[in-house]
Structure formats: structure tokens, C-alpha cells
Amino acid sequence: MGEQEDPRVTRSRGRILESARTVFLREGYLGTTLDQVAVESGVAKRTIYNLYADKDDLFRATILSAIEIADRFAASIAADVVEVDSVEDLPSIAERLAEATLLGPALPLRRLLVMESRRFPDLVSEYRRRAPEAVMSALSELFRRAGRAGSLDIRDPRLAAEHFAFLIMGADLDRGMFTGQHPPRTAVTALARDGAEAFLRAYRVSD
Amino acid sequence: MGEQEDPRVTRSRGRILESARTVFLREGYLGTTLDQVAVESGVAKRTIYNLYADKDDLFRATILSAIEIADRFAASIAADVVEVDSVEDLPSIAERLAEATLLGPALPLRRLLVMESRRFPDLVSEYRRRAPEAVMSALSELFRRAGRAGSLDIRDPRLAAEHFAFLIMGADLDRGMFTGQHPPRTAVTALARDGAEAFLRAYRVSD
DNA sequence: CCTTTTCTGCACTCGGGAGTGCAATACTGC
DNA sequence: GCAGTATTGCACTCCCGAGTGCAGAAAAGG
């Protein structure tokens, strides 16, 4: 069932998706012109319509491919998280998580999804189900284990995971949504460390 | 210097701003038609153009009036916060803060500002400077005092304020941005109480 | 080469939203 | 009731973006 695709198509598709991501991210759905995408990708507008039914279709494909990327990021973070076995590692895992989220591709994608959440609610669900949920599940699992092991005082692992996540990057996430830019790395790591420390103070086993 | 305004103008302006807020909030800047606003407000499109130079002008006026409202909310919260003198009051102040933010007018406004932050960065600054900053300053002040009084172990009052804010409503704020709806009150209060408790565990004076 | 498929350029239709002009009408203050 | 001003309805222009049709150029693949 191989049905090899013509290499020209593959190449065009790649260019189009990449440029579409850039332009949609910057201008939003309505603000984006397929002419812009055509110019940006060095491909004729007609070619776009040969590969995608309409603007809607292109947008969906673009976001889905961006979700794919965010997904891989999230999965890699989740894998790191699962490997943690000592509470001592929380600050460094916090730092990695915050950097991946705030300096990686997730932040712009989140912005765009918020912008278009009324028009494409299904894409929002898709994203949330795949990327942030993966990380939150991993964190929950980590805290559940830490609770069982007696290294942290955890009643509700899921709640602990949310507290952790928002302590270490809530403020920057919020700022990033408004400014549309990545916060400086130094700020990200500082916030992550301070947040992890606060988390440890809150969830440490009391004597 | 009163220059009394014709009551007809006042009435039209009010209707227009109210409907514009509704429609812009729902559809975004580009997605909104001045015909929609006209219909929604029961006013002729021509009247809108009599009172506002263009769509841009109307949008700015609309957002500024919404900021005005959010501003009053924030000021009232800030006043509450300043009055707190016992650490025992933190859970209840958390609850009020979370309800005002998540169930009030702030959430939709924040969404719209994120959506249009590239087009109207100055409005974003205006909002952030006035509404959330007022609350954060009040919280910082509260924690500075608590630190001085020895009832909490505070090193950086501003950081403590951020931790508090995101512990008690970070998760709901994030969800609300995506869903575009107010979270259920029960969830809001639960999250606020749990967050306040975690905050107290983290910032309690250690014996 | 030769065939097949894709890409391209360009001109085109269509729809719809921003913003205007104007004459008729409704309202307000006196 | 009168003068002055605001509102209305409606038709209209302008612009621009979505999407199409087609004929010719440009690759693939054998």
C-alpha cells in the first residue's frame, strides 16, 4: 500500500507547512493571506490549492504538524520526569521543563491556539490532550511515587503536579502569552529554581 | 468646562461600547464586523461612524472601557488584600481573588488582549500596568509586612506574590484562556483553597 | 527522448467588509 | 412649536482576499 508520493509534492508540502506555521503564528487565521504564505514559501498560490482544499484545511494541517513537534518535546520531557528518583533532582528537572516549554515551540503554538480557540476548538483539545497532558501525567506519576516512598508529603498527586508546574513557570507563561516572545533564558531558569524550592518547602515531609 | 454632551450621543455611545465589547470578545478584531455591532446595539452603522473615526478607534475605546472595569475590580481586590493582617485570612482572600479574576470580566478581556496583542501592544501594556499590577503590588506589600512581622518567612515579597497568585489560580487561568469560558465556581474555590494551603506550607516560618 | 504529473503565472470571478454621502426623520432644549 | 443637532436608511465606492481555470514550463521516471 506504499503509494510513493512524488518528491515534488513532498518538497512543496514541506515548504508550505513551514511558511504557513510562521505566518499563521504571527498573523492569526484571519490575518493570514494565502498569498503571503505563497510568497514566504516560494511556491505558487495555485500549488497550495493543489495540495490543500482551502485555507481551513491548510490551517488544520499546519497546526497538526506543530502539535506533532510539541508532542515530541513533551514526550521527551515526560521521559526525563519519569526517570527522576530523588527529590534532589526536582530543581534541575524544573529547569529543563521550563526551558523546553518557554523557550521551545510550545509557547507560540499556545498563543495561536488561544487566538483561534473559538474557530478550531477541536485543535485545542487535540493539543491539550497530547502535549501538556503528557507532561502533567508524568509529573503526577512522579509525585505519586515520591509520596509512596515517603520522600514527599503528597495527598493529591495531580494537584501537586499542577502546583509544581505553575510555581516553576506560571508567571513566565502568562507574560509570554501577552508579549508573544520568549522570555530571557536567565529569567526562566531563575523562576524555575525558585519555584522548585518553594514546591519542596510546601511538599516536604514534615519531620 | 462642562460642555454637556447631548443625551442622544451618550446613549448611543453606551450601547455601542457595550455591544462592541460583546462582539469583539467573541469574534476578535478581524472577525468583527461593524454591521454586527450595529445590529447588536440597535444603532445604525452610520451612527457608529459618527462617534468613532474607524474600526480601530472603536476597538481602542471598547478595550479601554473594559480595562476601566477590570481596573475597578482589581482596585477593590487590592483594597481587600491590604486590609489582611493575619495569615489566617489568606485562604479566604485567595478565594475572593480567584473568584474576582476567574468569574469576573478579567478572563475574557485577557483572552482578547492575547488575541490582539500584536495589533495593539499598547493596550496590553495599559491593561497589565493597571489591573494585574495593582493586585500584585498589594500582594507584595502584604507579604512584605508579614515577613517583617515574622508571621511568614519571606525573602522576596514579589516572588512570593507570584507564587501565591499562580498557586491559587494558575491552572484555571490557563484552562480559561483556552476554553474561553469561566470555570465552575466550585472548581475555582477549591483550587484557591488548596493553593493557599500549599502557599502557607511553603512560606510558613519554620519553627 | 517521451510520457506523465506537477508546478507556475496570470487573469479572472465572487463575496464581503470598511467607510462615505445624502436626504429624510427623530429627538432635545428652549 | 422652533431651531439645531443627532440618528437613520440606503445606496454606493473601494479594496482585498478566497478560490478557480487554463495553458505553458518544468521536473520525474522509464
Quick check: A43 and A20 in contact, CB under 8 A? no
Chain A partners of B156 at a C-beta cutoff of 8 Å?
Answer: 194
Do A162 and B180 count as a contact with CB atoms less than 8 A apart? no
Determine, yes or no, domain membership for A126: yes
Average pLDDT, chain A: 95
Determine, yes or no, domain membership for A124: yes
What pLDDT score was predicted for residue A85? 85
CATH (domain of B8): 1.10.10.60
Confidence label for B206 from pLDDT (cuts 50, 70 and 90): confident
What pLDDT score was predicted for residue B30? 98
Give yes or no: residues B118 and B72 share one domain: yes
pLDDT tens, A34-78? 999 999 999 999 999 999 999 999 999 999 999 999 999 999 999
CA atoms of A38 and A45, how far apart (whole Å): 5
What pLDDT score was predicted for residue A116? 98
What pLDDT score was predicted for residue A5? 84
Instruction: State the best of B133, B135, B178, B193 to mutate against chain A, taking most chain A CBs within 10 Å.
Output: B178
* Shortest CA gap B202–chain A (Å): 4
Read off the pLDDT of each residue in A127-156 and give the average, rounded to a whole number: 96
- Of the listed ranges A5-9, A102-106, A150-154, B8-12, the one predicted with least confidence: A5-9
Give yes or no: residues A45 and A123 share one domain: no
Give yes or no: residues A183 and A97 share one domain: yes
Kindly determine whether the C-beta of residue A32 is less than 7 Å away from any atom of nucleic acid strand D.
yes
Give yes or no: residues B100 and B40 share one domain: no
Do B117 and A180 count as a contact with CB atoms less than 8 A apart? yes
Domain residues for B72? Answer: 66-203
Read off the pLDDT of each residue in B85-91 and give the average, rounded to a whole number: 92
What pLDDT score was predicted for residue A46? 97
Q: Is the pLDDT of residue A207 over 90?
A: no
Q: Is the pLDDT of residue A3 over 70?
A: no
Give yes or no: residues B16 and B91 share one domain: no
Kindly determine whether the C-beta of residue B51 is less than 7 Å away from any atom of nucleic acid strand D.
yes
Q: Which residue is nearest to nucleotide C16 (CA to C1')?
A: B33
A150 torsion bin: left (phi>0), alpha (psi -120 to 50), beta (else): left
Q: Is the pLDDT of residue A1 over 50?
A: no
Structurally, chain B folds into a number of domains equal to 2
What pLDDT score was predicted for residue A206? 77
Instruction: State the best of B162, B197, B203, B206 to mutate against chain A, taking most chain A CBs within 10 Å.
Output: B162
Determine, yes or no, domain membership for A107: yes
Determine, yes or no, domain membership for B12: yes
Work out the percent of chain B whose per-residue pLDDT is above 90.
Answer: 94
Determine, yes or no, domain membership for B147: yes
For residue A30, count CB atoms less than 10 angstroms from its CB and return exposed for 0-12, middle for 13-18, buried for 19 or more.
Answer: middle
Q: Which residue is nearest to nucleotide D10 (CA to C1')?
A: B46
Chain C: positions less than 7 Å from a protein CB are 5-11, 16-22, 27-29
Assigned C-alpha cell, A74: 513533551
User: Angle, nearest 10°, between helix axes A106-115 and B106-115?
Assistant: 110
> How is residue A119 annotated by DSSP?
T
CA atoms of B170 and A198, how far apart (whole Å): 15
Do B166 and A167 count as a contact with CB atoms less than 8 A apart? yes
- Residue scoring higher pLDDT (B192 or B206): B192
Q: Which residue is nearest to nucleotide C5 (CA to C1')?
A: A6
- From the CA of B99, how many Å to the C1' of C21? 50
Determine, yes or no, domain membership for A57: no
Do B31 and A30 count as a contact with CB atoms less than 8 A apart? yes
Determine, yes or no, domain membership for A58: no
* Nearest CB to B167 within list A128, A163, A177: A163
Give yes or no: residues A111 and A184 share one domain: yes
Q: Of A165, A105, A110, A116, which is closest to residue A139 (Cα–Cα)?
A: A165
Give yes or no: residues B37 and B75 share one domain: no
Q: Is the pLDDT of residue A181 over 80?
A: yes
* Nearest CB to B166 within list A31, A159, A171: A171
Chain A partners of B194 at a C-beta cutoff of 8 Å?
Answer: 156, 159
CA atoms of A40 and B159, how far apart (whole Å): 42
Q: Which residue is nearest to nucleotide C10 (CA to C1')?
A: A46
Do A177 and B114 count as a contact with CB atoms less than 8 A apart? yes
User: Angle, nearest 10°, between helix axes A7-31 and B7-31?
Assistant: 170
CB contacts < 8 A (A, B): 80
Q: Is the pLDDT of residue A172 over 60?
A: yes
Give yes or no: residues A8 and A99 share one domain: no
What pLDDT score was predicted for residue A155? 97
Read off the pLDDT of each residue in A125-146 and give the average, rounded to a whole number: 97
> How is residue A88 annotated by DSSP?
G
Do A174 and B179 count as a contact with CB atoms less than 8 A apart? no
What pLDDT score was predicted for residue A81? 94
* Chain A residue whose CA is closest to B156: A194
pLDDT tens, B120-162? 999 999 999 999 999 999 999 999 999 999 999 999 999 999 9
What pLDDT score was predicted for residue A9? 85
CATH (domain of A97): 1.10.357.10
Q: Which residue is nearest to nucleotide D29 (CA to C1')?
A: A6
Average pLDDT, chain B: 96
Q: Is the pLDDT of residue B185 over 90?
A: yes
pLDDT tens, A85-111? 899 999 999 999 999 999 999 999 999
Q: Is the pLDDT of residue B1 over 70?
A: no
Contacting residues for B27 by C-beta, under 8 A, at least 6 apart: A118, B36
What pLDDT score was predicted for residue A95? 97
Give yes or no: residues A186 and A89 share one domain: yes
What pLDDT score was predicted for residue A75? 96
Give yes or no: residues B178 and B78 share one domain: yes
Confidence label for B3 from pLDDT (cuts 50, 70 and 90): low
Chain B partners of A114 at a C-beta cutoff of 8 Å?
Answer: 111, 114-115, 177-178
* Nearest CB to A117 within list B171, B180, B203: B180
pLDDT tens, A32-45? 999 999 999 999 99
Assigned C-alpha cell, B45: 452603522
Determine, yes or no, domain membership for A165: yes
